[in-house]
Structure 1
Amino acid sequence: MILQEFLRDAGERLEKACLHFADSHQHAEQIVLRTLNLSPTELFLKKDQALKSSDLEKLKSVLERRLSGEPLQYILGFEYFYESKFEVGPGCLIPRRETELLVDEVLGFELSRSLKVSELGAGTGNIGISVLLKRQNIEWHAFEINSESAVYTKKNIAVLLPKNSQYFLHGEDFFEGAGRFSPYDVIVSNPPYISFEEYAELSQEVKQEPELALKAGEEGLDVIRKLVSRIPVLLKPGGLFLCEIGASQEEKVKQEFNRGPWDHFEILKDLAGHPRVLKIK
Protein backbone atom coordinates (compact mmCIF):
# COMPACT_ATOMS: atom_id res chain seq x y z
CA MET A 1 0.00 0.00 0.00
CA ILE A 2 1.17 3.53 -0.81
CA LEU A 3 1.59 5.73 2.27
CA GLN A 4 -0.75 8.35 0.83
CA GLU A 5 -3.47 5.69 0.48
CA PHE A 6 -3.09 4.68 4.11
CA LEU A 7 -3.32 8.31 5.21
CA ARG A 8 -6.49 8.85 3.20
CA ASP A 9 -8.18 5.66 4.39
CA ALA A 10 -7.15 6.20 8.00
CA GLY A 11 -8.40 9.78 7.97
CA GLU A 12 -11.79 8.70 6.61
CA ARG A 13 -12.16 5.92 9.18
CA LEU A 14 -11.18 8.21 12.05
CA GLU A 15 -13.71 10.79 10.88
CA LYS A 16 -16.50 8.22 10.77
CA ALA A 17 -15.57 7.00 14.26
CA CYS A 18 -16.51 10.43 15.72
CA LEU A 19 -13.63 10.50 18.22
CA HIS A 20 -13.70 14.29 18.65
CA PHE A 21 -10.64 15.17 16.54
CA ALA A 22 -10.29 18.73 15.31
CA ASP A 23 -8.95 17.26 12.05
CA SER A 24 -9.14 13.49 11.46
CA HIS A 25 -6.75 13.56 8.50
CA GLN A 26 -4.20 15.49 10.53
CA HIS A 27 -4.54 12.90 13.28
CA ALA A 28 -3.88 10.15 10.73
CA GLU A 29 -0.62 11.92 9.93
CA GLN A 30 0.23 11.99 13.63
CA ILE A 31 -0.28 8.24 13.82
CA VAL A 32 2.17 7.73 10.96
CA LEU A 33 4.71 10.26 12.25
CA ARG A 34 4.81 8.77 15.72
CA THR A 35 4.50 5.09 14.83
CA LEU A 36 7.24 5.19 12.19
CA ASN A 37 9.29 7.89 13.94
CA LEU A 38 9.29 10.21 10.92
CA SER A 39 9.78 13.96 10.71
CA PRO A 40 7.14 16.01 8.85
CA THR A 41 9.63 16.45 6.00
CA GLU A 42 10.24 12.70 5.78
CA LEU A 43 6.50 12.08 5.74
CA PHE A 44 6.05 14.52 2.85
CA LEU A 45 8.86 12.89 0.84
CA LYS A 46 7.57 9.34 1.43
CA LYS A 47 3.87 9.91 0.70
CA ASP A 48 4.09 8.38 -2.78
CA GLN A 49 6.21 5.43 -1.69
CA ALA A 50 5.02 1.92 -0.87
CA LEU A 51 5.00 1.01 2.80
CA LYS A 52 7.11 -1.89 4.02
CA SER A 53 4.89 -4.79 5.05
CA SER A 54 6.18 -4.58 8.64
CA ASP A 55 5.44 -0.84 8.82
CA LEU A 56 1.98 -1.34 7.35
CA GLU A 57 1.16 -3.97 9.97
CA LYS A 58 2.31 -1.62 12.73
CA LEU A 59 0.17 1.19 11.37
CA LYS A 60 -2.89 -1.03 10.99
CA SER A 61 -2.53 -2.26 14.57
CA VAL A 62 -2.20 1.27 15.96
CA LEU A 63 -5.13 2.51 13.87
CA GLU A 64 -7.46 -0.26 15.05
CA ARG A 65 -6.66 0.45 18.69
CA ARG A 66 -7.09 4.18 18.05
CA LEU A 67 -10.49 3.57 16.47
CA SER A 68 -11.55 1.80 19.67
CA GLY A 69 -10.90 5.05 21.56
CA GLU A 70 -7.59 4.11 23.17
CA PRO A 71 -5.35 7.20 23.56
CA LEU A 72 -2.53 7.30 21.02
CA GLN A 73 -0.06 8.04 23.82
CA TYR A 74 -1.04 4.83 25.63
CA ILE A 75 -0.78 2.80 22.42
CA LEU A 76 2.72 4.04 21.58
CA GLY A 77 3.85 4.40 25.19
CA PHE A 78 5.15 7.97 25.08
CA GLU A 79 4.33 11.66 24.85
CA TYR A 80 6.54 14.68 24.22
CA PHE A 81 6.59 17.47 26.80
CA TYR A 82 8.94 20.45 27.02
CA GLU A 83 11.59 19.03 24.66
CA SER A 84 11.67 15.55 26.27
CA LYS A 85 10.06 12.20 25.52
CA PHE A 86 8.16 10.81 28.52
CA GLU A 87 7.07 7.22 28.93
CA VAL A 88 3.32 7.00 29.56
CA GLY A 89 0.70 4.29 29.84
CA PRO A 90 -2.62 3.28 31.41
CA GLY A 91 -2.92 4.60 34.94
CA CYS A 92 -1.13 7.92 34.43
CA LEU A 93 -2.28 11.34 33.30
CA ILE A 94 -1.06 12.14 29.79
CA PRO A 95 1.12 15.30 29.72
CA ARG A 96 -0.40 18.18 27.79
CA ARG A 97 1.21 21.19 26.17
CA GLU A 98 -0.81 23.67 28.23
CA THR A 99 0.97 22.47 31.36
CA GLU A 100 4.33 23.66 30.01
CA LEU A 101 3.37 27.11 31.31
CA LEU A 102 4.00 25.83 34.85
CA VAL A 103 7.53 24.81 33.85
CA ASP A 104 8.23 28.24 32.34
CA GLU A 105 7.11 30.00 35.52
CA VAL A 106 9.23 27.87 37.86
CA LEU A 107 12.28 28.26 35.62
CA GLY A 108 11.94 32.04 35.66
CA PHE A 109 11.62 32.39 39.45
CA GLU A 110 14.56 33.63 41.56
CA LEU A 111 17.25 32.54 39.11
CA SER A 112 20.15 33.56 41.33
CA ARG A 113 19.46 31.18 44.22
CA SER A 114 18.68 27.57 45.07
CA LEU A 115 15.04 26.61 45.55
CA LYS A 116 13.03 23.98 47.37
CA VAL A 117 9.89 23.02 45.43
CA SER A 118 6.87 20.89 46.34
CA GLU A 119 4.49 19.37 43.79
CA LEU A 120 1.08 17.78 44.29
CA GLY A 121 0.55 15.03 41.73
CA ALA A 122 3.76 14.05 39.96
CA GLY A 123 2.06 12.10 37.17
CA THR A 124 4.76 11.07 34.71
CA GLY A 125 7.17 13.46 36.43
CA ASN A 126 6.95 15.76 33.43
CA ILE A 127 6.86 19.07 35.31
CA GLY A 128 9.67 18.44 37.78
CA ILE A 129 11.91 16.58 35.36
CA SER A 130 11.53 19.32 32.74
CA VAL A 131 12.51 21.95 35.30
CA LEU A 132 15.52 20.01 36.62
CA LEU A 133 16.82 19.36 33.12
CA LYS A 134 17.07 23.14 32.66
CA ARG A 135 17.98 24.24 36.17
CA GLN A 136 20.03 22.20 38.62
CA ASN A 137 19.87 24.38 41.76
CA ILE A 138 16.47 23.01 42.77
CA GLU A 139 15.40 20.42 45.35
CA TRP A 140 12.12 18.93 44.10
CA HIS A 141 9.66 17.06 46.35
CA ALA A 142 6.87 15.42 44.32
CA PHE A 143 3.89 13.71 45.96
CA GLU A 144 2.03 10.99 44.02
CA ILE A 145 -0.44 8.64 45.73
CA ASN A 146 -1.39 6.78 42.54
CA SER A 147 0.98 3.79 42.50
CA GLU A 148 0.27 3.08 38.82
CA SER A 149 1.29 6.60 37.89
CA ALA A 150 4.37 6.47 40.13
CA VAL A 151 5.70 3.58 38.04
CA TYR A 152 6.05 5.96 35.10
CA THR A 153 7.46 8.75 37.27
CA LYS A 154 10.27 6.45 38.39
CA LYS A 155 10.97 5.24 34.85
CA ASN A 156 11.20 8.78 33.51
CA ILE A 157 13.45 9.89 36.37
CA ALA A 158 15.81 7.00 35.63
CA VAL A 159 15.93 7.68 31.89
CA LEU A 160 15.91 11.46 31.74
CA LEU A 161 17.58 12.88 34.85
CA PRO A 162 21.28 12.83 35.81
CA LYS A 163 22.03 10.64 38.85
CA ASN A 164 22.80 13.64 41.06
CA SER A 165 19.47 15.38 40.44
CA GLN A 166 17.54 16.32 43.57
CA TYR A 167 14.17 14.85 42.59
CA PHE A 168 12.44 13.14 45.51
CA LEU A 169 9.27 11.14 44.85
CA HIS A 170 6.98 10.56 47.84
CA GLY A 171 4.19 7.99 47.60
CA GLU A 172 1.92 9.70 50.09
CA ASP A 173 -0.83 12.30 50.21
CA PHE A 174 0.54 15.82 49.70
CA PHE A 175 -1.70 17.19 52.45
CA GLU A 176 -0.29 14.69 54.94
CA GLY A 177 3.36 14.60 53.91
CA ALA A 178 4.36 17.97 52.47
CA GLY A 179 4.73 19.56 55.89
CA ARG A 180 7.72 17.34 56.70
CA PHE A 181 9.90 19.19 54.19
CA SER A 182 8.43 22.69 54.43
CA PRO A 183 8.76 25.60 54.07
CA TYR A 184 9.06 25.75 50.28
CA ASP A 185 10.12 28.46 47.88
CA VAL A 186 7.63 27.17 45.30
CA ILE A 187 4.49 25.05 45.39
CA VAL A 188 3.34 23.85 41.98
CA SER A 189 0.58 21.54 40.81
CA ASN A 190 -1.50 20.39 37.89
CA PRO A 191 -4.28 19.13 40.18
CA PRO A 192 -7.63 17.56 39.38
CA TYR A 193 -9.95 20.43 38.43
CA ILE A 194 -12.84 18.93 36.45
CA SER A 195 -16.33 19.18 37.95
CA PHE A 196 -18.66 16.20 38.17
CA GLU A 197 -20.84 17.72 35.44
CA GLU A 198 -17.88 18.35 33.11
CA TYR A 199 -16.53 14.85 33.73
CA ALA A 200 -19.81 13.31 32.59
CA GLU A 201 -19.43 15.15 29.26
CA LEU A 202 -15.82 14.08 28.61
CA SER A 203 -15.02 11.73 25.75
CA GLN A 204 -14.52 8.05 26.55
CA GLU A 205 -10.92 8.52 25.46
CA VAL A 206 -10.15 11.07 28.18
CA LYS A 207 -12.03 8.95 30.74
CA GLN A 208 -9.41 6.23 30.24
CA GLU A 209 -7.00 8.46 32.15
CA PRO A 210 -7.09 8.11 35.97
CA GLU A 211 -10.23 9.61 37.46
CA LEU A 212 -8.25 10.62 40.54
CA ALA A 213 -6.21 13.02 38.39
CA LEU A 214 -9.27 14.60 36.76
CA LYS A 215 -12.32 14.97 39.05
CA ALA A 216 -12.48 17.47 41.90
CA GLY A 217 -15.99 17.94 43.26
CA GLU A 218 -19.11 19.79 42.19
CA GLU A 219 -17.24 22.83 40.88
CA GLY A 220 -13.89 21.21 40.15
CA LEU A 221 -12.24 23.32 42.85
CA ASP A 222 -12.03 20.96 45.84
CA VAL A 223 -8.29 20.24 45.54
CA ILE A 224 -7.40 23.80 44.52
CA ARG A 225 -9.18 25.14 47.63
CA LYS A 226 -7.18 22.80 49.86
CA LEU A 227 -3.94 23.78 48.14
CA VAL A 228 -4.56 27.51 48.51
CA SER A 229 -5.47 27.05 52.17
CA ARG A 230 -2.00 25.54 52.80
CA ILE A 231 -0.08 28.50 51.33
CA PRO A 232 0.41 30.30 54.69
CA VAL A 233 1.66 27.09 56.31
CA LEU A 234 3.88 25.57 53.60
CA LEU A 235 5.18 28.50 51.52
CA LYS A 236 8.02 30.81 52.54
CA PRO A 237 7.33 34.57 52.63
CA GLY A 238 7.87 35.82 49.09
CA GLY A 239 7.40 32.31 47.75
CA LEU A 240 5.60 31.35 44.55
CA PHE A 241 2.39 29.31 44.21
CA LEU A 242 1.43 27.94 40.78
CA CYS A 243 -1.63 25.87 40.04
CA GLU A 244 -3.21 24.85 36.75
CA ILE A 245 -6.94 25.60 36.46
CA GLY A 246 -9.71 24.89 33.98
CA ALA A 247 -10.36 27.39 31.19
CA SER A 248 -13.89 28.00 32.51
CA GLN A 249 -12.85 28.59 36.14
CA GLU A 250 -11.24 32.04 35.89
CA GLU A 251 -14.07 34.09 37.42
CA LYS A 252 -14.77 31.61 40.21
CA VAL A 253 -11.07 31.42 41.09
CA LYS A 254 -10.83 35.23 41.17
CA GLN A 255 -13.88 35.50 43.43
CA GLU A 256 -12.59 32.94 45.92
CA PHE A 257 -8.85 33.60 46.10
CA ASN A 258 -8.14 37.19 45.03
CA ARG A 259 -8.46 38.59 48.56
CA GLY A 260 -6.00 36.31 50.35
CA PRO A 261 -2.98 37.43 52.41
CA TRP A 262 -0.68 37.75 49.40
CA ASP A 263 0.94 40.56 47.47
CA HIS A 264 0.42 39.23 43.96
CA PHE A 265 -2.55 37.42 42.39
CA GLU A 266 -2.72 36.66 38.68
CA ILE A 267 -4.38 34.32 36.19
CA LEU A 268 -1.97 33.42 33.38
CA LYS A 269 -3.17 32.50 29.91
CA ASP A 270 -1.84 29.64 27.80
CA LEU A 271 -0.70 29.88 24.17
CA ALA A 272 -4.29 29.52 22.98
CA GLY A 273 -5.33 32.52 25.09
CA HIS A 274 -7.28 30.47 27.66
CA PRO A 275 -7.01 31.05 31.43
CA ARG A 276 -4.66 28.30 32.60
CA VAL A 277 -2.56 29.01 35.70
CA LEU A 278 -3.31 30.58 39.07
CA LYS A 279 -0.19 32.46 40.20
CA ILE A 280 0.15 33.78 43.75
CA LYS A 281 3.16 35.40 45.43
Structure 2
Amino acid sequence: MTMKDDIIGELVTLRDFWRYAISRFSAADLSYGHGTSNASDDAAFLLLDSLDLPIDVLDPFLDARLLGSERRLLADRIEARVSTRKPSSYLTGHAYIQGVRFLVDERVIVPRSHIGEILFHEYIDLGGSSFLPDPMSVETAVDICTGSGCLAVLAAKFFVNAEVDAVDLSADALDVARLNVAEHDVENQVSLFQGDLFAPLEGRTYDLIITNPPYVEHDAVEAYPAEYQAEPAMAHDGGEDGLDLVRRILVTAPAFLNPGGGLICEIGAGREILEEEFPHIEFLWLETEASQDAVFFVTAEALGVS
Protein backbone atom coordinates (compact mmCIF):
# COMPACT_ATOMS: atom_id res chain seq x y z
CA MET A 1 0.00 0.00 0.00
CA THR A 2 1.35 3.43 -0.96
CA MET A 3 1.47 6.54 1.19
CA LYS A 4 -1.29 7.97 -0.97
CA ASP A 5 -3.47 4.94 -0.25
CA ASP A 6 -2.84 5.42 3.47
CA ILE A 7 -3.92 9.06 3.24
CA ILE A 8 -7.08 8.26 1.30
CA GLY A 9 -7.94 5.55 3.80
CA GLU A 10 -7.29 7.56 6.95
CA LEU A 11 -8.57 11.01 5.95
CA VAL A 12 -12.36 10.97 5.72
CA THR A 13 -13.80 14.48 6.13
CA LEU A 14 -12.99 17.84 4.60
CA ARG A 15 -11.64 18.87 8.00
CA ASP A 16 -9.19 15.97 7.85
CA PHE A 17 -7.93 17.02 4.44
CA TRP A 18 -7.75 20.70 5.40
CA ARG A 19 -5.60 19.94 8.44
CA TYR A 20 -3.40 17.61 6.38
CA ALA A 21 -2.98 20.15 3.58
CA ILE A 22 -2.02 22.92 6.02
CA SER A 23 0.62 20.67 7.57
CA ARG A 24 2.05 19.70 4.18
CA PHE A 25 2.06 23.28 2.87
CA SER A 26 3.71 24.62 6.02
CA ALA A 27 6.36 21.92 6.05
CA ALA A 28 7.14 22.59 2.38
CA ASP A 29 7.46 26.34 3.03
CA LEU A 30 5.31 27.20 0.02
CA SER A 31 4.85 30.75 -1.23
CA TYR A 32 1.47 32.44 -1.62
CA GLY A 33 -0.03 35.59 -3.06
CA HIS A 34 -2.28 34.24 -5.82
CA GLY A 35 -5.49 35.09 -4.05
CA THR A 36 -4.42 33.71 -0.67
CA SER A 37 -1.71 34.78 1.75
CA ASN A 38 -1.09 31.76 4.00
CA ALA A 39 -1.18 27.96 4.18
CA SER A 40 -4.59 27.80 5.84
CA ASP A 41 -6.36 29.94 3.24
CA ASP A 42 -4.54 28.36 0.32
CA ALA A 43 -5.48 24.88 1.52
CA ALA A 44 -9.11 25.92 1.94
CA PHE A 45 -9.20 27.37 -1.58
CA LEU A 46 -7.62 24.28 -3.14
CA LEU A 47 -10.03 21.90 -1.41
CA LEU A 48 -13.23 23.90 -1.86
CA ASP A 49 -12.62 24.81 -5.49
CA SER A 50 -11.62 21.24 -6.31
CA LEU A 51 -14.99 20.10 -4.96
CA ASP A 52 -16.95 22.91 -6.67
CA LEU A 53 -17.97 24.31 -3.30
CA PRO A 54 -18.22 28.04 -2.50
CA ILE A 55 -14.67 29.16 -1.84
CA ASP A 56 -15.66 31.61 0.91
CA VAL A 57 -17.74 29.17 2.98
CA LEU A 58 -15.75 26.45 4.73
CA ASP A 59 -17.47 25.79 8.07
CA PRO A 60 -20.69 24.10 6.86
CA PHE A 61 -18.69 21.47 4.95
CA LEU A 62 -15.85 20.73 7.37
CA ASP A 63 -17.35 17.54 8.80
CA ALA A 64 -18.83 16.28 5.55
CA ARG A 65 -17.62 12.79 4.65
CA LEU A 66 -16.02 12.65 1.24
CA LEU A 67 -16.50 10.10 -1.51
CA GLY A 68 -13.57 7.90 -2.44
CA SER A 69 -13.17 9.70 -5.77
CA GLU A 70 -13.17 13.05 -3.95
CA ARG A 71 -10.53 11.87 -1.49
CA ARG A 72 -8.29 10.71 -4.34
CA LEU A 73 -8.71 14.04 -6.13
CA LEU A 74 -7.83 16.05 -3.04
CA ALA A 75 -4.86 13.86 -2.18
CA ASP A 76 -3.54 14.25 -5.72
CA ARG A 77 -3.92 18.03 -5.70
CA ILE A 78 -2.35 18.48 -2.28
CA GLU A 79 0.61 16.44 -3.45
CA ALA A 80 0.81 18.42 -6.71
CA ARG A 81 0.75 21.73 -4.83
CA VAL A 82 3.76 20.62 -2.79
CA SER A 83 5.73 18.80 -5.48
CA THR A 84 5.25 21.24 -8.36
CA ARG A 85 4.82 24.43 -6.29
CA LYS A 86 2.35 25.68 -8.89
CA PRO A 87 -0.27 28.15 -7.64
CA SER A 88 -3.42 26.39 -6.50
CA SER A 89 -5.41 28.18 -9.22
CA TYR A 90 -3.42 26.33 -11.88
CA LEU A 91 -4.29 23.03 -10.22
CA THR A 92 -8.04 23.73 -10.02
CA GLY A 93 -8.23 25.76 -13.24
CA HIS A 94 -10.00 28.69 -11.59
CA ALA A 95 -9.29 32.08 -10.04
CA TYR A 96 -11.70 34.54 -8.45
CA ILE A 97 -12.07 38.31 -8.35
CA GLN A 98 -14.59 39.47 -5.75
CA GLY A 99 -16.26 36.05 -5.94
CA VAL A 100 -16.50 36.00 -9.75
CA ARG A 101 -14.87 32.85 -11.15
CA PHE A 102 -12.53 32.86 -14.14
CA LEU A 103 -10.80 30.08 -16.05
CA VAL A 104 -7.00 30.10 -15.81
CA ASP A 105 -4.00 27.99 -16.74
CA GLU A 106 -0.26 28.46 -17.23
CA ARG A 107 -0.81 30.60 -20.33
CA VAL A 108 -1.88 33.55 -18.15
CA ILE A 109 -0.98 35.16 -14.87
CA VAL A 110 -3.36 34.21 -12.06
CA PRO A 111 -5.67 37.27 -11.90
CA ARG A 112 -5.56 39.16 -8.61
CA SER A 113 -5.95 42.77 -9.67
CA HIS A 114 -6.78 45.54 -7.20
CA ILE A 115 -8.85 47.10 -9.98
CA GLY A 116 -11.50 44.42 -9.65
CA GLU A 117 -11.86 45.28 -5.97
CA ILE A 118 -12.14 48.98 -6.82
CA LEU A 119 -14.86 48.41 -9.43
CA PHE A 120 -16.96 46.43 -6.99
CA HIS A 121 -16.38 48.89 -4.16
CA GLU A 122 -17.17 51.97 -6.20
CA TYR A 123 -20.19 50.65 -8.08
CA ILE A 124 -21.74 48.19 -5.62
CA ASP A 125 -20.58 48.91 -2.06
CA LEU A 126 -20.87 52.68 -2.49
CA GLY A 127 -23.69 52.60 -5.02
CA GLY A 128 -21.91 55.10 -7.23
CA SER A 129 -18.38 56.38 -7.72
CA SER A 130 -17.00 59.84 -7.03
CA PHE A 131 -14.35 59.53 -9.75
CA LEU A 132 -15.21 56.68 -12.14
CA PRO A 133 -17.81 57.48 -14.80
CA ASP A 134 -21.49 56.67 -14.41
CA PRO A 135 -21.63 53.04 -15.58
CA MET A 136 -24.70 53.66 -17.73
CA SER A 137 -22.94 56.47 -19.60
CA VAL A 138 -19.89 54.45 -20.63
CA GLU A 139 -20.21 53.49 -24.29
CA THR A 140 -16.63 52.37 -24.95
CA ALA A 141 -13.98 50.85 -22.69
CA VAL A 142 -10.71 49.04 -23.24
CA ASP A 143 -8.62 46.70 -21.11
CA ILE A 144 -4.93 46.97 -21.99
CA CYS A 145 -2.77 43.92 -21.08
CA THR A 146 -5.93 41.90 -20.54
CA GLY A 147 -4.30 38.52 -19.79
CA SER A 148 -7.12 36.14 -18.87
CA GLY A 149 -9.67 38.77 -19.84
CA CYS A 150 -11.07 39.07 -16.32
CA LEU A 151 -11.12 42.87 -16.17
CA ALA A 152 -12.64 43.10 -19.64
CA VAL A 153 -15.39 40.69 -18.55
CA LEU A 154 -16.03 42.70 -15.38
CA ALA A 155 -16.10 45.91 -17.44
CA ALA A 156 -18.75 44.37 -19.69
CA LYS A 157 -20.82 43.44 -16.64
CA PHE A 158 -20.56 46.89 -15.02
CA PHE A 159 -20.82 48.95 -18.22
CA VAL A 160 -23.80 47.23 -19.76
CA ASN A 161 -24.10 49.74 -22.62
CA ALA A 162 -20.43 49.63 -23.55
CA GLU A 163 -18.45 47.99 -26.28
CA VAL A 164 -15.35 46.65 -24.54
CA ASP A 165 -12.05 46.01 -26.31
CA ALA A 166 -9.30 43.92 -24.75
CA VAL A 167 -5.66 43.80 -25.88
CA ASP A 168 -2.74 41.54 -25.08
CA LEU A 169 0.60 40.85 -26.72
CA SER A 170 0.32 37.13 -25.98
CA ALA A 171 -1.74 34.99 -28.35
CA ASP A 172 -1.82 32.28 -25.67
CA ALA A 173 -3.30 34.70 -23.13
CA LEU A 174 -5.96 35.76 -25.61
CA ASP A 175 -6.96 32.12 -26.08
CA VAL A 176 -7.71 31.98 -22.35
CA ALA A 177 -9.45 35.36 -22.46
CA ARG A 178 -11.64 34.01 -25.26
CA LEU A 179 -12.71 31.15 -22.98
CA ASN A 180 -13.64 33.58 -20.22
CA VAL A 181 -15.56 35.86 -22.55
CA ALA A 182 -17.60 32.86 -23.67
CA GLU A 183 -17.95 31.51 -20.12
CA HIS A 184 -19.48 34.81 -18.98
CA ASP A 185 -21.61 35.20 -22.09
CA VAL A 186 -20.24 38.61 -23.11
CA GLU A 187 -19.13 37.75 -26.66
CA ASN A 188 -21.43 40.42 -28.05
CA GLN A 189 -19.74 43.10 -25.92
CA VAL A 190 -16.07 42.15 -25.76
CA SER A 191 -13.65 42.17 -28.72
CA LEU A 192 -10.13 40.77 -28.36
CA PHE A 193 -7.06 42.19 -30.10
CA GLN A 194 -3.49 40.92 -30.23
CA GLY A 195 -0.80 43.57 -30.15
CA ASP A 196 1.49 45.84 -28.17
CA LEU A 197 -0.58 48.10 -25.89
CA PHE A 198 -2.62 50.49 -28.09
CA ALA A 199 -1.04 49.43 -31.39
CA PRO A 200 -4.04 47.43 -32.73
CA LEU A 201 -6.54 50.15 -31.72
CA GLU A 202 -5.59 52.93 -34.13
CA GLY A 203 -8.50 55.31 -34.68
CA ARG A 204 -10.51 54.13 -31.67
CA THR A 205 -11.25 56.21 -28.58
CA TYR A 206 -12.67 55.27 -25.21
CA ASP A 207 -14.61 56.59 -22.26
CA LEU A 208 -12.52 54.44 -19.92
CA ILE A 209 -9.10 52.80 -20.22
CA ILE A 210 -8.40 49.99 -17.74
CA THR A 211 -4.93 48.53 -17.47
CA ASN A 212 -3.02 46.20 -15.17
CA PRO A 213 0.29 46.01 -17.07
CA PRO A 214 3.46 44.15 -16.06
CA TYR A 215 4.99 46.32 -13.33
CA VAL A 216 7.57 44.26 -11.43
CA GLU A 217 11.25 45.20 -11.48
CA HIS A 218 13.23 42.89 -13.74
CA ASP A 219 15.66 41.80 -11.01
CA ALA A 220 12.74 40.94 -8.72
CA VAL A 221 11.22 38.71 -11.41
CA GLU A 222 14.54 36.88 -11.72
CA ALA A 223 14.45 36.18 -7.97
CA TYR A 224 10.83 34.96 -7.84
CA PRO A 225 9.86 31.87 -5.84
CA ALA A 226 8.66 28.85 -7.81
CA GLU A 227 4.97 29.76 -7.56
CA TYR A 228 5.54 33.05 -9.36
CA GLN A 229 8.01 31.55 -11.82
CA ALA A 230 5.21 29.21 -12.92
CA GLU A 231 3.44 32.23 -14.43
CA PRO A 232 4.41 33.82 -17.77
CA ALA A 233 7.41 36.06 -17.10
CA MET A 234 6.22 38.65 -19.62
CA ALA A 235 3.10 39.19 -17.50
CA HIS A 236 5.30 40.41 -14.63
CA ASP A 237 8.44 42.02 -16.07
CA GLY A 238 8.09 45.80 -16.21
CA GLY A 239 11.73 46.59 -16.90
CA GLU A 240 14.50 47.92 -14.68
CA ASP A 241 12.22 49.80 -12.28
CA GLY A 242 8.96 48.09 -13.21
CA LEU A 243 7.44 51.14 -14.90
CA ASP A 244 8.45 50.80 -18.55
CA LEU A 245 4.95 49.96 -19.80
CA VAL A 246 3.24 52.36 -17.39
CA ARG A 247 5.26 55.25 -18.86
CA ARG A 248 4.30 54.23 -22.39
CA ILE A 249 0.64 53.98 -21.41
CA LEU A 250 0.61 57.44 -19.84
CA VAL A 251 2.21 58.96 -22.94
CA THR A 252 -0.03 57.15 -25.42
CA ALA A 253 -3.38 57.08 -23.61
CA PRO A 254 -4.46 60.68 -24.40
CA ALA A 255 -4.82 59.85 -28.10
CA PHE A 256 -7.27 57.09 -27.19
CA LEU A 257 -9.40 58.88 -24.58
CA ASN A 258 -12.66 60.72 -25.10
CA PRO A 259 -13.19 64.04 -23.30
CA GLY A 260 -14.68 63.35 -19.89
CA GLY A 261 -13.09 59.91 -19.82
CA GLY A 262 -10.29 58.54 -17.71
CA LEU A 263 -7.56 55.97 -17.15
CA ILE A 264 -7.36 53.54 -14.23
CA CYS A 265 -4.01 51.77 -13.90
CA GLU A 266 -2.41 49.37 -11.44
CA ILE A 267 1.32 49.81 -10.84
CA GLY A 268 2.21 48.02 -7.63
CA ALA A 269 4.96 50.33 -6.40
CA GLY A 270 6.51 53.37 -8.04
CA ARG A 271 4.27 56.24 -7.01
CA GLU A 272 7.14 58.60 -6.20
CA ILE A 273 8.87 57.87 -9.50
CA LEU A 274 5.75 58.58 -11.54
CA GLU A 275 4.92 61.77 -9.69
CA GLU A 276 8.45 63.04 -10.22
CA GLU A 277 8.56 62.14 -13.92
CA PHE A 278 5.03 63.38 -14.71
CA PRO A 279 4.63 66.45 -12.46
CA HIS A 280 1.98 67.94 -14.75
CA ILE A 281 -0.40 64.98 -14.22
CA GLU A 282 -2.79 65.03 -11.29
CA PHE A 283 -2.86 61.41 -10.09
CA LEU A 284 -5.71 60.24 -7.87
CA TRP A 285 -4.28 57.38 -5.80
CA LEU A 286 -6.87 54.79 -4.83
CA GLU A 287 -6.95 52.89 -1.57
CA THR A 288 -7.63 49.16 -1.57
CA GLU A 289 -7.73 46.56 1.16
CA ALA A 290 -4.03 45.83 0.71
CA SER A 291 -2.61 49.11 -0.57
CA GLN A 292 -2.95 52.89 -0.61
CA ASP A 293 -1.02 53.68 -3.78
CA ALA A 294 -0.94 50.63 -6.05
CA VAL A 295 -3.65 52.00 -8.37
CA PHE A 296 -4.21 55.46 -9.80
CA PHE A 297 -6.97 57.16 -11.74
CA VAL A 298 -6.31 60.05 -14.11
CA THR A 299 -8.95 62.03 -15.94
CA ALA A 300 -8.72 62.61 -19.69
CA GLU A 301 -8.45 66.33 -19.00
CA ALA A 302 -5.48 65.80 -16.66
CA LEU A 303 -3.79 64.00 -19.55
CA GLY A 304 -4.39 66.96 -21.85
CA VAL A 305 -7.54 65.76 -23.63
CA SER A 306 -9.92 68.59 -24.42
Do Structure 1 and Structure 2 share a fold, with TM-score over 0.5?
Answer: yes
2 CA distance for matches of 1:17 and 1:258? 46
AA aligned to 2:265 is C
Q: CA deviation at 1:7?
A: 2.1
Matched, 1:32 2:47: yes
What is the match of residue 251 of structure 1?
A: 272
Deviations 1:242-279 (A, max 9, x none): 11011x3221122222423xxx4211121123322121
AA aligned to 1:24 is A
Deviations 1:32-66 (A, max 9, x none): 21111234797434434543211110001111111
Q: Please report the TM-score for the alignment, with normalisation by the length of structure 1.
A: 0.89
What is the match of residue 276 of structure 1?
A: 294
Cα distance change on mapping 1:189 and 1:162 into 2, 3 Å: closer
2 CA distance for matches of 1:192 and 1:43? 33
Matched, 1:119 2:143: yes
Answer yes or no: is the 8 Å Cα contact 1:79–1:94 preserved in 2.
yes
What is the match of residue 67 of structure 2?
A: 52
Deviations 1:194-253 (A, max 9, x none): 01122133221112111111101100000000000113322223320111011x322112
1 CA distance for matches of 2:63 and 2:117? 39
Q: CA deviation at 1:101?
A: 4.0
Cα distance change on mapping 1:42 and 1:135 into 2, 3 Å: closer
The answer to which of 22-31 and 134-143 deviates more is: 22-31
What secondary structure sits across from 1:187 in the alignment? Answer: strand
1 CA distance for matches of 2:197 and 2:91? 30
2 CA distance for matches of 1:186 and 1:40? 31
Matched, 1:223 2:245: yes
Q: Give structure 1 stretches of 5+ with no counterpart.
A: none
1 CA distance for matches of 2:55 and 2:254? 48
Cα distance change on mapping 1:45 and 1:229 into 2, 3 Å: closer
What secondary structure sits across from 2:44 in the alignment? Answer: helix
CA RMSD of aligned residues (A): 2.3
1 CA distance for matches of 2:180 and 2:41? 28
Q: Which runs of 4+ in 1 moved over 6 A?
A: none
2 CA distance for matches of 1:9 and 1:112? 48
What is the match of residue 165 of structure 2?
A: 141
Q: Please report the TM-score for the alignment, with normalisation by the length of structure 2.
A: 0.82
Q: Give structure 2 stretches of 5+ with no counterpart.
A: 1-10, 124-128, 300-306
Deviations 1:75-104 (A, max 9, x none): 111112244211111111211152314535
The answer to which of 122-131 and 194-203 deviates more is: 194-203
What is the match of residue 174 of structure 1?
A: 197
Answer yes or no: is the 8 Å Cα contact 1:117–1:185 preserved in 2.
yes
Matched, 1:161 2:210: no
Q: What number of residue pairs does the alignment pair up? A: 275
Cα distance change on mapping 1:41 and 1:280 into 2, 3 Å: closer
Answer yes or no: is the 8 Å Cα contact 1:117–1:139 preserved in 2.
yes
